[in-house]
């Protein structure tokens, strides 16, 4: 009889996280205190929506680094979903890490942006307000149609949608896009509910996603115009899915260059240049890992230029 593999435990998960950052497991264990949302400028302006929310009893907390996003205590999330601006699709609940990542990508009014793994579509909606045109790609059929409905309800008219496998987009669209965003499918460690114990997480799952992510990042880079920029992001902590994937791209493409990500946040950690027995390029220190705190969830971001 074949010997069964040892099942991953919560202690295994904790050990990995603390090797990345000694405070990470503790931070992930703490109850979420706040949540964030952004104003859908395709439907309304910031001032009018904030006024409506205040009339309905909310006191949204403004942010210094962006004027379209706000924060509220987590206890008010259910009430916000019942508010008139939410019902009118004038606001979109979205994590601050995700909002920051989308705005970290350089996008101008004349650009054509590719969002390579786009569902549920929150970042594509941000790009729709900044770019000339957005192509949103999603392989999963049910998620694709939910995303398409989301765009329609949000009145985002400059988004094209494609129910395609992102790994092969570059074959049809080589060097076509001015900017590319890839929030890659991942092991979603940042959304792990520690109170429920180990359920879907395992090192095997990490390696499975890392293989997919390497294919996707190649497709993203090949689809990007020379002189353009792209973002690679995940909502997981695993270096195998983050730094190792970006390092793989840098090795394969000498014309790929990591760019620094400007920010003033304290709940961040620069990218690792080594993990366990593997060493990465020193350039990986330019990448950024958000640590879960306040309205921020765990998130990894790498900004890449194509020279």
Whole-Å CA distances, 276 to 23, 103, 239, 287 = 18, 32, 10, 18
Question: Alpha-carbon distance 142 to 127, whole Å?
Answer: 22
The CB density around residue 165, as the number of other CB atoms within 10 Å, is: 14
Beta-carbon contacts of residue 282 (< 8 Å; ≥ 6 apart): 273
Which residues are known to be catalytic?
Answer: 235
Question: Would you tell me the crossing angle of helices 203-223 and 243-252 to the nearest 10 degrees?
Answer: 40
Question: Alpha-carbon distance 189 to 193, whole Å?
Answer: 9
């Amino acid at each position: 009889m074949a010997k069964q593999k040892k099942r991953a435990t919560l202690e295994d998960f904790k050990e990995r996280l603390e090797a990345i950052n000694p405070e990470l497991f503790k931070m992930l264990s703490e109850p979420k205190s706040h949540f964030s949302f952004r104003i859908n400028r395709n439907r309304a302006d910031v001032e009018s929506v904030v006024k409506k929310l205040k009339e309905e009893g909310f006191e949204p907390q403004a942010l210094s680094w962006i004027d379209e996003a706000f924060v509220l205590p987590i206890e008010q999330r259910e009430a916000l979903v019942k508010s008139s601006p939410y019902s009118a699709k004038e606001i979109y609940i979205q994590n601050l890490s995700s909002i920051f990542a989308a705005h970290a990508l350089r996008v101008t009014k004349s650009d054509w942006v590719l969002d390579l793994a786009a569902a549920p579509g929150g970042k594509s909606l941000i790009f729709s307000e900044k770019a000339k045109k957005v192509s949103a790609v999603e392989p999963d059929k049910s998620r694709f149609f939910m995303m398409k409905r989301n765009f329609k309800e949000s009145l985002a008219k400059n988004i094209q949608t494609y129910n395609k496998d992102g790994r092969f987009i570059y074959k049809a669209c080589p060097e076509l896009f001015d900017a590319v965003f890839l929030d890659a499918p991942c092991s979603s460690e940042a959304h792990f509910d520690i109170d429920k114990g180990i359920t879907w997480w395992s090192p095997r799952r990490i390696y499975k996603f890392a293989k997919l992510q390497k294919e996707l990042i190649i497709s993203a880079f090949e689809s990007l115009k020379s002189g353009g920029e792209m973002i690679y992001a995940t909502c997981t902590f695993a270096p195998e899915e983050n730094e190792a994937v970006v390092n793989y791209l840098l090795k394969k493409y000498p014309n790929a260059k990591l760019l620094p990500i400007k920010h003033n946040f304290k709940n961040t950690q620069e990218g690792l240049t080594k993990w366990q027995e593997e060493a990465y390029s020193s350039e990986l220190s330019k990448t950024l890992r958000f640590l879960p705190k306040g309205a921020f969830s765990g998130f990894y971001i790498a900004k890449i230029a194509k020279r």
